[in-house]
């Protein structure tokens, strides 16, 4: 059998994105508590996510960047979403600004939860790099997913569009 790369590229990107979500799941987490949620978005759901991000962008003052990102993710064959549920780790690390976890103000996230998301994102992106996939870490895409209720238990979400092309479509983007 003969395969032309152009005919199977999308399939390969989605398979690579599946490996990325596995890497995010297996990334180290504070105190071994797995509060990470991971989602893979493809096909028409990328369009839905793009439309949601565009709508948010048009309502906000920095809409050019958000609208640009909404257009940009349409170049992706997959989007990985990585978020964290809220759980104070009880380490009294003071990274959140409070001396102890019990003194942490309501609405202030546990810093360890945020760090866990960062480590999971790094692990997912390292996997993508190993597979020579194009990515970009986008807070805007995660924010849209959050506002759209896609990961309702998560306090914060990061989006990573994934592609394979001769030039990464997620860099050198111009603002309109």
Give the model confidence (pLDDT) of 142-160 as tens digits.
Answer: 999 999 999 999 988 999 9
Residue spans per domain, the chain: 5-163
Give the model confidence (pLDDT) of 109-129 as tens digits.
Answer: 899 999 999 999 999 999 999
Report d(CA 112, CA 118) in Å as an integer. 10
Pairing of strands 78-85, 154-163: antiparallel
Average pLDDT score over the chain: 93
Closest CA to 75 of 7, 136, 142: 136
Neighbours of 68 (CB within 10 A): 17
The answer to whether residue 176 scores a pLDDT higher than 60 is no
pLDDT bucket at 174, cuts 50 / 70 / 90: low
Residue 33 half-sphere exposure toward CB, CA atoms < 13 A:
18
The answer to whether residue 140 scores a pLDDT higher than 80 is yes
* The domain over range 5-163 is classified in CATH as 3.40.640.10: no
* Rg of the chain on CA atoms, in Å: 17
The answer to whether residue 63 scores a pLDDT higher than 60 is no
What per-residue confidence (pLDDT) applies to 62?
A: 60
pLDDT bucket at 137, cuts 50 / 70 / 90: very high
Phi then psi for residue 115, to 5 deg, are -60, -40
Whether the model clears a pTM of 0.85, i.e. scores above it, the answer is yes
Close Cβ partners of 85 (under 8 Å, ≥ 6 residues apart): 35, 37, 113, 153, 154, 155
DSSP letters for 38-107: EEEE-THHHHHHHHHHHHHHHHSTTHHHHHHHHHHGGG-SEEEEEEEE---------TTSSSSGGGPPTT
């Amino acid at each position: 059998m003969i395969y032309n790369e152009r005919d199977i590229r999308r399939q390969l990107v989605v398979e690579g994105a599946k490996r990325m979500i596995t890497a995010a799941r297996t990334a180290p987490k504070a105190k071994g508590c797995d509060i990470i949620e991971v989602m893979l978005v493809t096909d028409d759901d990328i369009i839905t996510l793009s439309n949601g991000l565009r709508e948010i962008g048009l309502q906000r003052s920095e809409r050019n960047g958000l609208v640009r990102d909404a257009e940009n993710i349409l170049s992706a064959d997959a989007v990985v979403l990585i978020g964290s549920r809220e759980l104070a780790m009880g380490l009294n690390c003071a990274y959140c600004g409070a001396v102890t976890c019990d003194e942490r103000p309501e609405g202030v996230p546990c810093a360890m939860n945020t760090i866990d998301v960062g480590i999971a994102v790094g692990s997912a992106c390292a996997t993508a790099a190993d597979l020579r996939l194009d990515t970009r870490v986008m807070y805007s895409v995660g924010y849209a997913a959050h506002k759209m209720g896609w990961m309702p238990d998560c306090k914060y979400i990061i989006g990573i569009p994934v592609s394979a092309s001769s030039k990464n479509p997620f860099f050198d983007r111009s603002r309109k």
